[in-house]
Amino acid sequence: SEARATFGPWDYAVFAGMLAVSTGIGLRVGLAGGGQRSADDFFTGGRQLAAVPVGLSLAASFMSAVQVLGVPAEAARYGLKFVWMCVGQLLNSLLTAALFLPVFYRLGVTSTYQYLELRFSRPVRLCGTLQYLVATTLYTGIVIYAPALILNQVTGLDIWASLLSTGVICTLYTTVGGMKAVVWTDVFQVVVMLSGFFVILARGSVLLGGPWTVLRLAQNHSRINLMDFDPDPRSRYTVWTFLVGGTLVWLSMYGVNQAQVQRYVACRTERKAKLALLVNQLGLFLIVSSAACCGIVMFVFYRDCDPLLTGRISAPDQYMPLLVLDIFKDLPGIPGLFLACAYSGTLSTASTSINAMAAVTVEDLIKPQMPNLAPKKLVIISKGLSLIYGSACLIVAALSSLLGGGVLQGSFTVMGVVSGPLLGAFVLGMLLPACNTPGVLSGLVTGLALSLWVSLGATLYPPSEQTMGVLPTSASGCEALATNVSVLLDPLVAASGSGRVSSSVDAGRPALANTFYAISYLYYGALGTLSTVVCGALVSYLTGPTKHSTLGPGLLWWDLARQTASVAPKEGVDALDNSMMKRLEETPMGSKKPPSFLPSDEDRLLFTGQEEAVGHWTPASARRVGPDLSESNI
């Protein structure tokens, strides 16, 4: 039967309801208690947020409409092995909690790139800031535009209505409500996303004869392929691409990305921040696994009449909206739930990115130049920046018509190419005491150049479906097969090809097209990270390594690990107070003389607020038995 040409009135009503509830939650939470009194309130919620909403917000931030549309399509074409992505996300959460979260939380930074100046120099901080702003603007533009285009092509949903409704609404509640509004609307949007996936799974399974029938048919067509250990890096998805490439891509997003770090440093304690990462992991598992299972149901539904072969759709990312229209054609309003599901992901990602870019601009570009701005003025500037960045993302979305390939690959490529080298810079800073400014800058340039090289090569000379490991599909069961003969011939000719066409294509492809350019896009971030670390370490040792004694407290993970193992309280350590942060920022990292606030052998000062440890004097114990700790002691 033919699918409807567009969504119906009830579908739009459900979608409008989701937008209205999201706006209402954002405005209500953001304006409660008199709104934001300082930039810290606007960007981190006063660092008083609870673990569960922050964890769900972390999960929603990168689960955009790109994932809602892209993950099912990839699972349908490559099989259920996509759920290995959940293992890569788990490894990312563990590494983030162990390596990066303690450093950022105890320094009390709002912008992650503050760390780069404290550890290296201001040019490194500015380099990281600019890379982040460019990448996030492009990524958010893709997130807003791609689903609008896909839904327009399949359902006739007006593309400008999609762009403006989502862009304007998320900019509105992010500008008015700040971080609290972002977090609580994300919680609602996670619920909407999961509801949409579960309804699709239930309806599709019932129509196909039950979940066991779905699994049997998927197994018969090689879609239940969890044990794919192919070491070839050109295979798009294997266990290794998810465990190595996937882990590092997600680590660049969660470990050092401003949008995520800003979220978990907003928790009340470090312990709650780690709990938020666990809640985030549960949310990611539910979203990714349910999306992948929807892809398997989708393949079984179209197993003998692939709409991509018959011409009903023109790209794999259009599978999901077509499936929704096909299986819910007699249930008005339910397709609107999927529409709400897709755009919940868009709202969560866009609002997170807008708030994070405003925070980075204030902390890295405005405050250093105008340190004496009043808190109220900073709040006004922050809201204005949110409005500007929201508008910029809408402009990028409107200009994104040149986007080629799948939306999932496009989004991960943008984040991998830029965030991969930035992850390498933070690894150098926290784990390699010898790394210096020339080393990290040369590493960033090398990592970014290498990542851009391979991604542009893959765009110009895309690998074949056989190289990537696309599983076969069929159109043999289509009732209208005879009317689509010309459409069916094109992919068959492309797959086999005549000798003349094949030779001309091969003649125009460079030698790297089938090797280096053909590696899985999930390795782009890993390539950028590793090249940054290797180059940065080599240049640092060649130009004169940094002496450990010249580095301030809290900048190296090794020192934190050793100190917290012996004296840190079980309940977690409070963030460094403002006075110490100011002293840190004022201390030249390249000075030969150690900063005056370094711990001495006698007092063993680690962080303000620590409890008394046996044999050591700490600020908390001093407050119990003597006068208050003065700034000169620090």
Quickly list DSSP for 475-523: -TT-TTGGGGHHHHHHHHHHHH--HHHHHHHHHHS-GGGGTTTTS-TTH
**pLDDT digits over 63-72, tens only?**
767 778 888 9
Q: What count of Cα atoms within 13 Å lies in the side-chain half-sphere of residue 268? A: 8
**pLDDT digits over 478-489, tens only?**
864 444 433 433
Position 418 pLDDT exceeds 70: yes
pLDDT of residue 164: 76
Position 601 pLDDT exceeds 50: no
CATH code, domain carrying 73: 1.20.1730.10
In a domain? residue 350 = no
Q: Both 608 and 529 in a single domain?
A: no
**Burial class for 538, CB neighbours closer than 10 Å (0-12, 13-18, 19+):** middle
Average pLDDT score over the chain? 77
pLDDT more than 90, % of the chain: 23
Q: Both 574 and 523 in a single domain?
A: no
State mean pLDDT over 221-250: 90
In a domain? residue 528 = yes
Q: Both 526 and 579 in a single domain?
A: no
Q: Both 620 and 559 in a single domain?
A: yes
pLDDT of residue 68: 81
* CB proximity list for 202: less than 8 A, separation 6 or greater: none
Of 483, 503, 536, which residue sits at a domain end? Answer: 536
For residue 223, give the 3-state DSSP assignment: coil
Q: How is residue 464 written in tokens?
A: 């074949």
Q: Both 581 and 445 in a single domain?
A: no
Q: Could you tell me which residue, 90 or 608, shows the higher pLDDT? A: 90
Task: Please name every residue paired with 267 in a beta bridge, in sequence order, or none if there are none.
Answer: 49
- What is the extent of the structural domain holding 569? 547-625
Of 477, 506, 536, which residue sits at a domain end? Answer: 536
In a domain? residue 370 = no
Q: Both 427 and 531 in a single domain?
A: yes
CA 330 and chain centroid, separation: 36
Q: Both 527 and 562 in a single domain?
A: no
DSSP secondary-structure letter at 81? G
Q: Both 203 and 270 in a single domain?
A: yes
In a domain? residue 483 = no
pLDDT of residue 423: 93
pLDDT of residue 537: 96
**Burial class for 31, CB neighbours closer than 10 Å (0-12, 13-18, 19+):** middle
Q: Both 286 and 205 in a single domain?
A: yes
Judged by average pLDDT, the poorest of 207-216, 365-374, 518-527 is 365-374
Give dist(CA 612, CA 569) in Å, integer: 9
Q: Pick the closest to residue 120 from 597, 615, 543 (CA basis).
A: 543
In a domain? residue 82 = yes
In a domain? residue 160 = no
Give residue 55's identity as a one-letter amino acid code: G
Q: Both 326 and 430 in a single domain?
A: yes
Position 1 pLDDT exceeds 80: no
Q: Both 428 and 568 in a single domain?
A: no
Which band of pLDDT confidence, cut at 50, 70 and 90, is reported for residue 8? confident
Position 463 pLDDT exceeds 90: no
Q: Could you tell me which residue, 298 or 5, shows the higher pLDDT? A: 298
State mean pLDDT over 600-613: 37
Please tell me the total count of domains within the chain.
Answer: 2
State mean pLDDT over 423-450: 94
State mean pLDDT over 616-634: 37
In a domain? residue 610 = yes
Q: Both 274 and 301 in a single domain?
A: yes
Which band of pLDDT confidence, cut at 50, 70 and 90, is reported for residue 138? confident
pLDDT of residue 559: 82
Q: How is residue 506 written in tokens?
A: 């091969």
**pLDDT digits over 36-75, tens only?**
556 666 666 667 788 888 888 888 777 767 778 888 999 9
pLDDT more than 70, % of the chain: 76
DSSP secondary-structure letter at 587? S
Q: Pick the closest to residue 248 from 29, 399, 419 (CA basis).
A: 419
Which band of pLDDT confidence, cut at 50, 70 and 90, is reported for residue 598? very low
Q: How is residue 126 written in tokens?
A: 């500015």
Of 479, 503, 536, which residue sits at a domain end? Answer: 536
Which band of pLDDT confidence, cut at 50, 70 and 90, is reported for residue 122? very high
**pLDDT digits over 573-585, tens only?**
444 444 444 554 4
Q: State the angle between helix axes of 51-61 and 334-360 in degrees (0 to 180), rounded to the nearest 10.
A: 100
For residue 79, give the 3-state DSSP assignment: coil
Give residue 40's identity as a one-letter amino acid code: D
* CB proximity list for 284: less than 8 A, separation 6 or greater: 59, 63, 86, 89
Position 610 pLDDT exceeds 80: no
Q: State the angle between helix axes of 65-78 and 334-360 in degrees (0 to 180), rounded to the nearest 10.
A: 120
Tell me the pTM.
0.78
**Burial class for 228, CB neighbours closer than 10 Å (0-12, 13-18, 19+):** middle
Judged by average pLDDT, the poorest of 78-82, 157-161, 282-286, 504-508 is 504-508
pLDDT of residue 202: 93
In a domain? residue 604 = yes
For residue 346, give the 3-state DSSP assignment: helix
Q: For residue 35, how many other CB atoms are within 10 A of its CB?
A: 15
